[in-house]
Amino acid sequence: MSAIIDPDKENFRDTITTIEDDGSRKWIFAKKTNGFFYRIRSALSWVYLIVFFGLPWLQYEGEPLFMLNVIKRKFIIFGLHFGVQDLIVFGIAMLTFVVFIVLFTVAFGRLFCGWACPQTIFMEMVFRKIEYWIDGDAQQQRNLAKKRMEPEKDL
């Protein structure tokens, strides 16, 4: 086991906290969270997931509301058609969108990354819940990790 890192020492940045002294990986097990804000975040994540998976299926005037078909070079964003000839307009719109995301992240980064980022939504609200369902909470995962890898290993 590696020693506890003391931030008062000058060389505390010379070690990686997720690597043991012998070079093996030190696993981190996420604790199950609960509380008022977590319930609100879970409810919002359901809305986000419905939007992420439902947006391509929404129709507007017989066309998808959102479609990026690179092979046929047909792009539809919120009912607006973009073709190859509109690439400059499409590119400027995408750059503006990326700049908006960067500026929003600079101003409200913690809020965006914790509540609205697609990576966080999928990691915490989909994959982490599947992990808890299969392996259990953090303590059960620690106990499972300590067991030897055998066919009879209890899950």
Alpha-carbon distance 134 to 140, whole Å? Answer: 10
* pLDDT score, position 147: 83
Q: What tens digit of pLDDT does each residue of 9-22 get?
A: 666 677 788 888 88
Mean pLDDT of 64-77: 85
Q: pLDDT band for position 93 (50/70/90)?
A: confident
* pLDDT score, position 83: 81
Q: How many residues does this entry show for the chain?
A: 155
What are the structural domain ranges in the chain? 32-133
Task: Show the beta-strand stretches assigned E in 13-113.
Answer: 59-60, 63-64, 66-69, 74-77, 80-82
Q: pLDDT band for position 36 (50/70/90)?
A: very high
